[in-house]
Structure 1
Amino acid sequence: MSVLELQDRGGLYAFDEAQCTEAGKQLAERYQSAEPFPHIAIDDFVSKDVLRELLTEFPSSDGHEFFDRDQERFKYQYHPQECGPRVRNLLAELNSQAFLSFLSNMTGIKGLISDPYYLGGGLHETKRGGHLGVHADFNIHNKMKLQRRLNLLIYLNDDWDEAWGGHLELWDREMKGCTEKVAPLIGRAVLFNTDLDSFHGHPDPLACPPERSRRSIATYYYTAPPEGVANLPKRTTVFKERPGSTDRADWKVRAQHMWKDWAPPAVQRMLSSAKAD
């Protein structure tokens, strides 16, 4: 029995809004009281059989671009347009009114908006030796001019050996220590608030066999601040170094943020205009 049931409607799957709403209410206290920031890990979130069907459509990484730098290595992202119909069906349902009702009732965040552009979302894959450093995510959707509020990850890894690593780590807001580790097992979902200090990642290199990889579904959710996003501090992904580790700082991003925070707006506009010319 899954937490959220996907009903078969003529060969397509769909969530039931009433069931989603009730499930969200039942999980609200657990989610909203979690530390170090509001989050939850849920086993059997949706049917494992449905997820195994999706795996038959998982895109090939052959010739595909991937991240390969100190902060994130051997990480692939596949947009829904690169995926088959089963994957696209589930991604559409994860952006539906029914699913937004689940999220709003669980998190207490009203007016959630899904992302039809899937900026950074879709399917994710990390290969052997790859990692994703501890970080806080970008906070502004530039196309929609919205504030990012929630992340959803659904893992797709059958028969995953914990010795291979790949655990999602949640770190405290001061980056003093990891407070929770979540193994990326099939059917397990993780949802969490994406504040500027919601630090998370899977920072140690994967030790899975060469023929295996760490796979997941990722979708993100937003709200429209009443005052707009112009007055919010704009951040791209901010990577953090773990105490006592060999993690390397992302000085380029730090310099960009310092510039945006301290350079006079008129100077920023003038230089942006000059670059455009």
Structure 2
Amino acid sequence: MPAAGLSILDARVLEAAADYCAEFTSAAPFPHVVIENFLDPAFADELLASFPAFERGNSVGDDGAPGGKSTLDRIRGLGPAYQRLDDAIKSPEFLHAVGQLTGIDGLIYDPWYLGRGTHENRNGMALDPPVDFNFHPSERWHRRLNLIVYLNPEWEPCWGGCLEPFRDPHADARPVCSVAPLFNRCVIFETSGRSWHAFDPIRLPPERDGLTRSSTALYFYTRDRPAEETAPRHTTFYVNRQLPVRIDEGRTLSRDDVAEIRQLLEPRDAHIRMLYAENTALRRAQDRGLTGHLLYLARRAYVRFRR
């Protein structure tokens, strides 16, 4: 009889832990592993049955407007299945098991679920490659692992939404590989300064337009990490995708080519608008009150001194 913290896993996962760990540590472009049938099948069905409606989660994007992604971090409110999940993943047995799968010991569970929980994406959504924040927002813990379990019983790889690890999204138009978000498939990857990951645009056929890309995402931390992997604290930052390799000199652009180029330009323009808005808000804040008046006097004195 498995320990309570391990009862949610398919028994075959831990039987092959050494093989998965070897795959994790040797994977390119950064340590990761794909595990099929990660959860006990009956438990995976329970999570799917209790998955929250899109409207129940937070669908407000970074720009403050409602979008096509919904997240919910208070998973214990989703019923017995998610309460069991929460009980399991914080147990010493489960944390030790994930350490066996990855070779990373001393993993810490995040009781606040900051950034994690249920994730759902509608048709048309995509993720440009980010590097995730590297420290817990409120603790001095190093973020070490993302563990994602997909809950899509009906999905074809050609529909997009596939996880894409990148070597260097500043230069590479293509990911190293592509992982479809199939039901009860788990992806575990190490979070570091080189763990660039994305998913390609979801393009559902008209008869499947109501489907969404659903998953449960879990983050794990450690109190320390190797010095050569440690970087100053930073937030999550993104790199917009490069032009597809087919867009090259001499090509006559098709209707689809033009549409894709416009799709690639739109987030860049939105990012520029957001940066200008943030800059304007910062300057307005600086101009207010005593501090703003002192800054005004300092700038005025500096300009006159330069003359």
TM-score range, shorter chain: 0.7 to 0.9
Match of residue 197 from structure 1? 194
Distance 1:49 1:195 in 2: 34
CA deviation vs aligned residue, 1:45-100 (integer Å, no higher than 9, x gap): 11233211222211122264314468x95111112144111122123312321121
Offset of residue 132 of structure 1: 2.0
| Residue 59 of structure 1 pairs with residue 52 of structure 2 | yes
- Kindly report which structure 2 residues correspond to 1:177-256, keeping only aligned pairs within 5 A, or say none: 177-207=174-204, 209-225=208-224, 232-244=231-243, 246=264, 248-249=267-268, 250=271
Identity of aligned residues (%): 32
User: CA 1:143–1:206 in structure 2 vs 1: closer, same or farther (change >3 Å)?
Assistant: farther
User: CA 1:95–1:129 in structure 2 vs 1: closer, same or farther (change >3 Å)?
Assistant: same
| Residue 74 of structure 1 pairs with residue 71 of structure 2 | no
Query: Is the contact made by 1:170 and 1:201 (CA closer than 8 Å) also made in structure 2?
Result: yes
Query: Is the contact made by 2:31 and 2:190 (CA closer than 8 Å) also made in structure 1?
Result: yes
Larger of the two Rg values belongs to structure? 2
Query: Is the contact made by 2:8 and 2:43 (CA closer than 8 Å) also made in structure 1?
Result: no
Looking at secondary structure, tell me which structure has more helix per residue: 2
CA deviation vs aligned residue, 1:159-216 (integer Å, no higher than 9, x gap): 2122321111111146413001000000100000000221111142442633211101
SS at the partner of 2:27? coil
User: CA 1:52–1:20 in structure 2 vs 1: closer, same or farther (change >3 Å)?
Assistant: closer
SS at the partner of 2:188? strand
Query: Is the contact made by 1:7 and 1:15 (CA closer than 8 Å) also made in structure 2?
Result: no
User: CA 1:67–1:14 in structure 2 vs 1: closer, same or farther (change >3 Å)?
Assistant: same
Q: 1:164 aligns with which of 159, 168, 173?
A: 159
What RMSD in Å do the two structures reach over aligned CA positions?
A: 3.3
**What's the TM-score, normalizing by structure 2?**
0.70
Offset of residue 135 of structure 1: 0.9
Query: Is the contact made by 1:78 and 1:122 (CA closer than 8 Å) also made in structure 2?
Result: yes
Distance 1:61 1:140 in 2: 29
Offset of residue 23 of structure 1: 4.0
Distance 1:155 1:181 in 2: 14
- Higher alpha-carbon deviation: 132-141 or 57-66: 57-66
- Kindly report which structure 2 residues correspond to 1:15-26, keeping only aligned pairs within 5 A, or say none: 23-26=16-19
Query: Is the contact made by 1:138 and 1:235 (CA closer than 8 Å) also made in structure 2?
Result: yes
User: CA 1:173–1:211 in structure 2 vs 1: closer, same or farther (change >3 Å)?
Assistant: same
Distance 2:226 2:180 in 1: 39
Query: Is the contact made by 1:20 and 1:99 (CA closer than 8 Å) also made in structure 2?
Result: no
Q: 2:127 aligns with which of 123, 132, 149?
A: 132
Query: Is the contact made by 2:96 and 2:105 (CA closer than 8 Å) also made in structure 1?
Result: no
| Residue 83 of structure 1 pairs with residue 82 of structure 2 | no
User: CA 1:179–1:173 in structure 2 vs 1: closer, same or farther (change >3 Å)?
Assistant: same
CA deviation vs aligned residue, 1:135-168 (integer Å, no higher than 9, x gap): 1111111222211010000010002122321111
User: CA 1:56–1:21 in structure 2 vs 1: closer, same or farther (change >3 Å)?
Assistant: closer
Looking at secondary structure, tell me which structure has more strand per residue: 1
**How many correspondences in the alignment?**
246
SS at the partner of 1:152? strand
SS at the partner of 2:126? strand
User: CA 1:163–1:232 in structure 2 vs 1: closer, same or farther (change >3 Å)?
Assistant: closer
Match of residue 287 from structure 2? none
Distance 1:173 1:110 in 2: 28
Q: 2:105 aligns with which of 96, 110, 121?
A: 110
